[in-house]
Structure formats: C-alpha cells, structure tokens
C-alpha cells in the first residue's frame, strides 16, 4: 500500500522532514502506540547485539513499537528481539520496494512483510537501489517516526552517528550506550555522549524509567540472546518530560484573542499539510477572509506553510 503526506493515515511526525516521503508499506501502521528506534553498528560485539535484542524484547513486551533500519548487527537483533516478544517492529528500508539490502537479511524482511503486525516501510520510490545516500535518508525517516532513539554501539564514522544527528535535528530523545574510553568500537558512542545531547544508557531499567514505562521483568530469560543476560541495575524514579513532535511557537499563543475567521481556519487544519484550495473549501468563508486568516496565523507562528501552497498546524490545541 502507498501512503503520501496528504493521506489522513500518514504519520504526522514525518511532516517535520523537509521532504516528507511517499511511503510504500507492507500493511497499515498503528500510530496509536509509542515508537522507539534502536540503531547500532553492523559489526557490533556479541554483548552489543545481545543488549539490542534484550532492549527490543522488553520494549515490545511493554507494547512499544520498535523501529530500526534492517542492517546486519544491532538493527537485525532489534527486529528479532521485538518479534520474539510477540510484539511489533517496523523496518525502514534503505531501498525502494523490489530491492533488498543487505541480501543477508532477506528472510528477515520477508518475515516482517508477511507479519500480521510488523511492517516493512520503503520510503523511496519502488526499485530504488541502495547507494551512499539512501541509508542516511532512511535514518531521517526512522528517527522522525520515533519519540526516542537508542544507539547501542557506534564507531566514529557510522550510520548510527548519522541517526544521532537526525535525533538532535528533529528534537528526539537520544540514549547512547557508553563504552570504555579506549574501546575503538564505541568511540563514536563516546563522542555522542560527550556532545551533551545524549543520555548515557547503562541499563534497560533506566531507559524504561526515563520513558515512563512500567519496569521490565529482566528475569524473563527469553529476552536474552545467546550467552548475554541483561544486568539488573535498579534506578531512582525519574520524571518523564512532556513529549512533543513540534518546536514551541515563537510567540505566546492566546486563542481567545483570535478572530472568528482565524479560529475557523485553524479548526480545519491538522499537523499534516493541507492544500490551500482545500482549506478554502473546508472553511466555507470568502477566499480573501480565509487567506487573510492563514497569513495572520502564520505570522503568529501557529501555522506553517510547506510545501508551497500547503499549510499545517505547528501546534495542537
């Protein structure tokens, strides 16, 4: 199935991207659930792969959708961990439908494509092959879908650090598993922690506390992978900050001061872009009144234009 930015079922968080993609999906997306991205090195250590599996497993048990990029290593273990829990995982491919990369994960992709709940998501036109650009574009889409990003292991030059950059750009919460300062396999992770935006992640309990999720049952041995058993490290209660997909407006929002025309126009908008002529049709006011209200709301920074001729809410009231 295809889903473009003007479809009511389109993920509104993707409208934060400069160029929201048309998605090809293996099935409908359940946007009522929380979504967390897990990414990491393709050549991850055994412990890193095991931790990725455990984090995904327990997130899925908590009814959280696990999204990743389908690469070998950490990504594949995240998908497998979520499916082992009987939960939902979404794979955002770095190709268009009809192309497979990496070939090693073909059976994993087929399993997700045939799943009743997990999904394959292709953000590129059908038959687009993988190139140097497509994984980075894919990272932007998978980060935009999620409320938080977990980086399990990253080297200095890695796609995982690109995902961390997207998390900063889009205002997503970023958790990074730190490594030993001298461990080259975690050098990129160490740099991300040092930059200040990332929250160092030392346990699954800590992640769940920060996300406001019920504490996981780490005695559930199915969450482990191979010889890896996630350590139990109790944490103090933490407050969960309010999650938002949009930056706050630049000016105070006082709907009571708006004109009736402005209120009427705003009520017909959503956080997905709507074409100008469609807005005029929905509002039912004279064209000049509608366009004046749109301009005023744009100046108040509660409405955003983009792409040209399309308008969306910056905030939800």
CATH code of residue 285: 1.10.10.10
Q: Which CATH number does the domain housing residue 103 bear? A: 3.40.50.450
Could you tell me where the beta strands, DSSP code E, fall in 23-166? Answer: 23-25, 35-39, 65-68, 89-92, 119-122, 148-151
Domain presence at residue 35: yes
**Parallel, antiparallel, or unpaired: how do β-strands 65-68 and 89-92 relate?**
parallel
Domain that holds residue 302: 255-313
Do 277 and 200 lie in one domain? The reply is no
Do 263 and 134 lie in one domain? The reply is no
Domain presence at residue 249: no
As beta bridge partners, residue 151 has 39, 176
- Cβ distance 89 to 111 under 8 Å? no
| Cβ-Cβ contacts under 8 Å for 7 (sequence gap 6 or more) | 272
Helix 187-195 / helix 159-170 crossing angle, nearest 10 deg: 20
Do 13 and 118 lie in one domain? The reply is yes
pLDDT mean by block of 10 residues, the chain; 317 residues: 94 92 97 96 94 97 97 97 97 97 97 97 97 95 97 91 93 92 86 85 93 92 82 62 50 74 90 86 91 86 79 72
Do 148 and 194 lie in one domain? The reply is yes
Do 306 and 179 lie in one domain? The reply is no
- In this predicted structure, what is the pLDDT of residue 245? 46
- In this predicted structure, what is the pLDDT of residue 185? 86
Distance in angstroms (rounded) separating the CA atoms of residues 296 and 254: 13
- Number of H helices and E strands in the chain, helices first, is 10, 12
Joined tokens for residue 71: 């690469």
* Burial (CB count within 10 angstroms: exposed 0-12, middle 13-18, buried 19+), residue 227: exposed
Do 290 and 204 lie in one domain? The reply is no
Q: How far is CA 57 from the centre of its chain?
A: 18
How many domains does one find in the chain?
Answer: 2
| Count of CB atoms situated within 10 Å of the CB of 277 | 11
> What φ, ψ does residue 37 adopt, rounded to 5°?
-95, 140
Domain presence at residue 167: yes
Do 26 and 155 lie in one domain? The reply is yes
Give the number of C-alpha atoms closer than 13 A to the C-alpha of residue 214, restricted to the C-beta side: 6
Distance in angstroms (rounded) separating the CA atoms of residues 302 and 312: 9
Domain presence at residue 241: no
Do 129 and 276 lie in one domain? The reply is no
Domain presence at residue 240: no
């Amino acid at each position: 199935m295809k889903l473009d930015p003007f479809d009511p079922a389109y993920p509104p968080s993707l409208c934060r991207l400069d160029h929201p993609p048309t998605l090809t999906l293996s099935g409908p997306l359940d946007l009522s659930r929380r979504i967390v991205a897990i990414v990491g090195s393709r050549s991850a250590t055994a412990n890193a792969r095991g931790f990725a599996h455990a984090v995904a497993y327990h997130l899925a048990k908590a009814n959280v959708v696990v999204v990743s990029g389908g690469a070998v290593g950490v990504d594949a273990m995240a998908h497998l961990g979520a499916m082992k829990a009987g939960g939902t995982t979404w794979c955002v491919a770095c190709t268009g439908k009809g192309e497979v990369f990496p070939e090693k994960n073909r059976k994993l992709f087929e399993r997700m494509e045939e799943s009743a709940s997990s999904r394959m998501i292709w953000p590129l036109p059908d038959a687009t092959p993988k190139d140097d650009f497509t994984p980075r574009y894919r990272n932007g889409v998978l980060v935009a879908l999620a409320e938080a990003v977990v980086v399990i292991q990253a080297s200095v030059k890695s796609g995982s650090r690109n995902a961390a950059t997207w998390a900063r750009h889009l205002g997503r919460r970023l958790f990074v598993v730190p490594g030993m300062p001298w461990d080259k396999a975690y050098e990129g992770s160490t740099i991300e922690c040092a930059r200040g935006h990332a929250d160092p992640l030392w346990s699954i309990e800590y992640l769940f506390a920060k996300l406001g999720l019920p504490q996981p049952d780490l005695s559930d041995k199915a969450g482990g992978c191979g010889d890896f058993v996630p350590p139990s490290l109790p944490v103090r209660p933490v407050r969960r900050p309010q999650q938002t997909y949009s930056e706050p407006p630049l000016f105070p929002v006082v709907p009571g001061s708006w004109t009736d025309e402005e209120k009427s126009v705003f009520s017909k908008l959503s956080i997905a872009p709507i074409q100008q002529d469609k807005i005029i049709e929905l509002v039912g006011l004279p064209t000049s009144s509608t366009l004046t209200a749109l301009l005023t709301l744009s100046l108040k920074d509660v409405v955003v234009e983009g792409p040209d001729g399309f308008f969306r809410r910056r905030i939800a009231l």
